Amino acid sequence: MSIGGILLGLINVGIVVAILLLVGVIALWIMGMLGVNLPDQARKLYIVIVALVALYLIVALLLGLPTVRILFYPLGQPFAENVGLVRGV
């Protein structure tokens, strides 16, 4: 993998972390408007979860692993043949 690919991947990890933290801040804001107080331990747990997601994304980037597999069949094979719909299996 090239340096440009790694830098682009790190930028993507930063964007994902920023979006997750923004979602958390918006959730806290809405809960504050509703008068619900979230304990500090729950806030810290959310930050730990976001950090674990970032760690997973960085490790997957460095090892070249896919982070999410949307389709669970090899590319290039039609989906119907892969699950046995065409062969009658």
Per-residue pLDDT tens over the stretch 22-79 = 999 999 999 999 999 889 999 999 999 999 999 988 988 888 877 665 445 555 555 5
Which residues have a Cβ under 8 Å from the Cβ of 20 and sit 6 or more positions away? Answer: 50, 53
pTM over 0.75, yes/no: no
Is residue 89 scored above 90 in pLDDT? no
pLDDT of residue 55: 92
Q: Which residue has the higher pLDDT, 55 or 86?
A: 55
Which alpha helices (DSSP H) does 1-89 contain, by range?
Answer: 3-34, 40-63, 79-82
- Torsion-angle region of residue 64: left (phi > 0), alpha (psi -120 to 50) or beta? left
pLDDT of residue 85: 47
